[in-house]
């Protein structure tokens, strides 16, 4: 019998939204065969590859054209009933990539986000204002305030942390503000794509150095260290090593601003391969303001050049600029921690401070972190940022883990006025410490959570659920902004609430690790019995309930499974993809979309990450590949008419720069023929 059903599946941005990032991995179904060191890269690959398939590359021009098209459409049309109200979450957090504290007022500081622009507070975090929303590049790599002018802000666009997602959200250079972020000026460096660091001469606000990382997918010459002596009106590339060697960090001597240290990082990647190390990864020093540079290495006591040398971070002590710290990583795939080094003589000689004591700081993805910070008045107090944070107060004699914050740390800054005040940023949001790091306070009023999917309880629509990047599966029971809580851990993805009995809630973490609740989400149990461990599953595995019979559930690996309330799963298809990817990856060649019928239990459409759409009208006994003349793109969503199984809709991801590629199609004959219904929508990925 047909049951009432309303499936509300909202994307925070339907067309070009960012839904991604790094995970603390729960046990995946295929854990026995996936290399541990690759685990933390899969959310980024998932994000990038669906937009890059099948060309394995996202053309920058395609994104720029899409932005222009989108602006034109919205500027010429008034959208009726378009008032929106924020319902949170504010208390969950999201990924912070860089932070900056005003040099004259500790109540004023800025945080840069992975894809949410820049937020500013003028009252120590009690309230926040987004100040970068008018800029079309919301991914932030670096924020810096001129030490001599607290109103002068520099922002580098394009996160440089080396995740595959960065390739999908690259920047277009550097921006400056002369009024604390009220208005912005574009300073160029459009082709640098990702900015690792910006430093400003402490005596001259117009003298700037930028560590530019360049393209993530592909080589280019617009990388290295750039210098401007006129506030960004003109730039010189003063340190270029190779077209695959990024500038990832740069530090300036506060007592002699002609002395700078730059960290260079050899990194190249393809959609299925990461080479994040090489012999050109090294520290360089200049004594003449960037006119000439010297590479520092084994002769000075630093690690010798090696194909495995990965990301490097540097920091100069403000109180004794002769003291410099550098953190190294090794292994071109994992960038595991390879030691903290210290120089007492302006970089002429270096010695190893520590390795074994904090060897686990980066886990197995050091390319995602890379920062070291020094106390402004005590050169022996050092923080090493990674998946965890370690702190020493005696120059490495002893180390302690810094607790009280989310993991995956990207930013930390001391106040210039009160060294006990610190601002930190990680994958869980922004934090402050007012007691020299003894305890940390999380800001629970920043709307920066990154969602993969959300769900509304049909019976109680004030109950909202969401799967988030690195911040669990969360829910609110009141549609409030600040009462969201975690119901299962890991990265969260699809949530399904039974529309006829909301005691049944199905939620999953990465790799299709499905869990079931029979008491409205208060408790969960494993719900993957019957799913073969040898199947390929997508990072964001599709799980849906039948709109005809909500007790019937569907689960997509590379095959389609069915179950009664997810108790025991049975496959009803063979492989519905092109098979395993040539790379050997078990996270590609998977189903990405499932659309069961509103009229019966036997009709189902499926879509895959390699462009296949199949349909069965007899419950899986026979399947028809109905991809036909559809684009060879990642299938993001399928929808079936509630009145006619022959009528269905398909949406696709992917960019195209040189020609128009539609992304929304309709069939009226069960997939035998498809019609482009994209109309005047921009040629950009459609998520849902």
| 630 inside domain | yes
Same domain, yes or no, for 71 and 181?
Answer: no
Q: Is the pLDDT of residue 336 over 60?
A: yes
Q: Is the pLDDT of residue 615 over 90?
A: yes
Per-residue pLDDT averaged across 574-579, rounded? 97
Same domain, yes or no, for 70 and 143?
Answer: no
Cβ neighbours for 326, distance < 8 A, ≥ 6 positions apart: 261, 263, 283, 302, 312, 313, 314, 315, 340, 341, 342, 343, 350, 372
CATH at 586: 2.130.10.10
d(CA 181, CA 39): 38
Domain end call among 209, 240, 271 = 240
Q: Is the pLDDT of residue 56 over 80?
A: no
Same domain, yes or no, for 519 and 602?
Answer: yes
| 46 inside domain | yes
Is residue 315 a contact partner of residue 304, using CB atoms and an 8 Å limit? no
pLDDT in tens, 425-473: 999 999 999 999 999 999 999 999 989 999 999 999 999 999 998 899 9
Give the pLDDT band of residue 45 (cuts 50, 70, 90): low
Burial 393-414 (b: 16+ CB within 10 A, else e): bebbeebeebeebbebbbbbbb
Domain end call among 240, 263, 285 = 240
Rounded to a whole number of angstroms, the distance between the first and last alpha carbons of the chain is 28
> What pLDDT score does 305 carry?
93
| 106 inside domain | no
Same domain, yes or no, for 589 and 672?
Answer: yes
> What pLDDT score does 11 carry?
35
Domain end call among 240, 257, 279 = 240
**Tokens 């996202």, located at residue:** 58
d(CA 215, CA 212): 9
Same domain, yes or no, for 42 and 190?
Answer: no
Same domain, yes or no, for 504 and 574?
Answer: yes
Q: Is the pLDDT of residue 31 over 50?
A: no
From start to end of 504-612, where are the E strands?
505-509, 513-517, 525-526, 543-545, 552-556, 560-564, 570-571, 591-596, 604-608
Per-residue pLDDT averaged across 631-646, rounded? 96
d(CA 443, CA 92): 9
The CA-CA-CA angle for residues 412, 414, 419, to 5°, reads: 145
Same domain, yes or no, for 67 and 179?
Answer: no
> What pLDDT score does 662 carry?
85
Q: Is the pLDDT of residue 22 over 50?
A: no
394 three-state secondary structure? coil
pTM, to two decimals: 0.87
| 193 inside domain | yes
Q: Is the pLDDT of residue 51 over 70?
A: no
Same domain, yes or no, for 533 and 642?
Answer: yes
| 377 inside domain | no
CATH at 187: 2.120.10.30
| 432 inside domain | no
Write out the residue range of the structural domain in which residue 177 sits: 135-240
Q: Is the pLDDT of residue 282 over 50?
A: yes
Proportion of the chain above pLDDT 70, given as a percent: 86
Per-residue pLDDT averaged across 86-112, rounded? 96
Give the pLDDT band of residue 680 (cuts 50, 70, 90): confident
Looking at the chain, how many residues does it have?
688
* Average pLDDT taken over every residue of the chain: 89
Same domain, yes or no, for 57 and 164?
Answer: no
- Burial class (CB within 10 angstroms; exposed 0-12, middle 13-18, buried 19+) of 428: buried
Q: Is the pLDDT of residue 34 over 80?
A: no
| 643 inside domain | yes
- Considering its fold, how many domains does the chain have in total? 2
Same domain, yes or no, for 563 and 491?
Answer: yes
Same domain, yes or no, for 151 and 225?
Answer: yes
Q: Is the pLDDT of residue 37 over 70?
A: no
> What pLDDT score does 482 carry?
92
Q: Which helix (H) or strand (E) holds 260?
A: strand 260-266
| 184 inside domain | yes
Same domain, yes or no, for 178 and 56?
Answer: no
């Amino acid at each position: 019998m047909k049951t009432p059903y309303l499936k509300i599946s909202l994307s925070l941005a339907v067309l070009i939204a960012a839904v991604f990032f790094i995970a603390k991995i729960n046990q995946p179904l295929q854990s026995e065969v996936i290399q541990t060191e690759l685990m933390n890269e899969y959310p980024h690959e998932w994000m990038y590859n669906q937009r890059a398939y099948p060309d394995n590359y996202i053309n920058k021009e395609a994104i720029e054209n899409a932005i222009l098209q989108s602006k034109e459409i919205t500027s010429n049309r008034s959208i009726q009933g378009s008032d929106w109200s924020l319902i949170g979450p504010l208390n969950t957090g999201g990924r912070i990539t860089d932070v900056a504290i005003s040099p004259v007022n500790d109540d004023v500081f800025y945080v840069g986000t992975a894809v949410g622009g820049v937020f500013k507070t003028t009252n120590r975090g009690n309230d926040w204002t987004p100040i970068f929303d008018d800029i079309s590049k919301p991914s932030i790599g670096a924020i810096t305030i001129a030490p001599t002018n607290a109103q002068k802000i520099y922002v580098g666009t394009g996160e440089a942390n080396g995740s595959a997602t960065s390739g999908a959200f690259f920047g277009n250079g550097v921006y400056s503000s002369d009024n604390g972020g009220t208005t912005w000026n574009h300073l160029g460096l459009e082709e640098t794509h990702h900015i690792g660091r910006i430093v400003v001469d402490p005596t001259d606000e117009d003298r700037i150095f930028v560590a530019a990382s360049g393209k993530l997918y592909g080589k280019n010459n617009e990388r290295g260290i750039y210098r401007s002596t006129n506030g960004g009106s003109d730039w010189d590339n003063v340190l270029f090593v190779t077209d695959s060697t990024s500038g990832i960090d740069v530090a300036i001597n506060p007592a002699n601003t002609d002395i700078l240290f730059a960290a260079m990082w050899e990194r190249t990647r393809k959609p299925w391969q990461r080479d994040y190390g090489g012999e050109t990864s090294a520290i360089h020093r200049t004594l003449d303001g960037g006119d000439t540079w010297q590479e520092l290495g084994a002769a000075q006591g630093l690690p010798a050049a090696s194909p495995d040398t990965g990301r490097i971070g540097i920091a100069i002590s403000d109180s004794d600029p002769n003291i410099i710290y550098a953190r190294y990583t090794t292994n071109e795939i994992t960038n595991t921690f390879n030691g903290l080094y210290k120089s007492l003589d302006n970089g002429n000689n270096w010695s190893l401070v520590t390795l074994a004591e904090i060897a686990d700081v980066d886990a197995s993805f050091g390319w995602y972190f890379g920062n070291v910070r020094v106390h402004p008045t005590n050169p022996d107090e050092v923080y090493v940022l990674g998946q965890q944070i370690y702190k020493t107060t005696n120059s490495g004699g002893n180390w302690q883990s810094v607790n009280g914050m989310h993991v995956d740390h990207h930013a930390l800054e001391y106040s210039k006025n009160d060294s006990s005040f610190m601002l930190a940023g990680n994958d869980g949001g922004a934090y402050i410490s007012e007691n020299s790091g003894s305890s940390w306070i999380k800001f629970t009023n920043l709307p920066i959570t990154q969602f993969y999917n959300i769900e509304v309880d049909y019976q109680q629509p004030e109950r909202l659920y969401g799967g988030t990047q690195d911040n669990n599966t969360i829910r609110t029971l009141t549609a409030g902004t600040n009462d969201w809580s975690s119901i299962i851990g890991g990265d969260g993805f699809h949530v399904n609430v039974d529309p006829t009995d909301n005691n049944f809630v199905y939620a999953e973490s990465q790799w299709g690790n499905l869990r079931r609740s029979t008491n409205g989400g208060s408790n969960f149990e494993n719900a993957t019995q019957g799913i073969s461990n040898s199947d390929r599953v997508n990072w964001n595995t599709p799980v849906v309930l039948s709109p005809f019979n909500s007790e019937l559930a569907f689960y997509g690996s590379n095959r389609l499974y069915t179950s009664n309330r997810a108790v025991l799963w049975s496959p009803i298809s063979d492989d519905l993809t092109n098979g395993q990817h040539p790379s050997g990856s078990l996270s590609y060649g998977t189903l990405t979309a499932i659309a069961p019928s509103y009229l019966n239990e036997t009709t189902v459409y499926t879509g895959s990450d390699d462009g296949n759409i199949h349909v069965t009208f007899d419950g899986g006994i026979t399947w028809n590949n109905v991809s036909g003349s559809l684009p060879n793109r990642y299938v993001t969503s399928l929808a079936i008419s509630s009145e006619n199984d022959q009528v269905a809709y398909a949406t696709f991801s992917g960019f195209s720069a040189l020609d128009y590629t539609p992304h929304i199609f309709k069939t009226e004959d069960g997939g035998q023929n498809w019609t482009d219904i994209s109309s005047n929508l921009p040629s950009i990925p459609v998520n849902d």
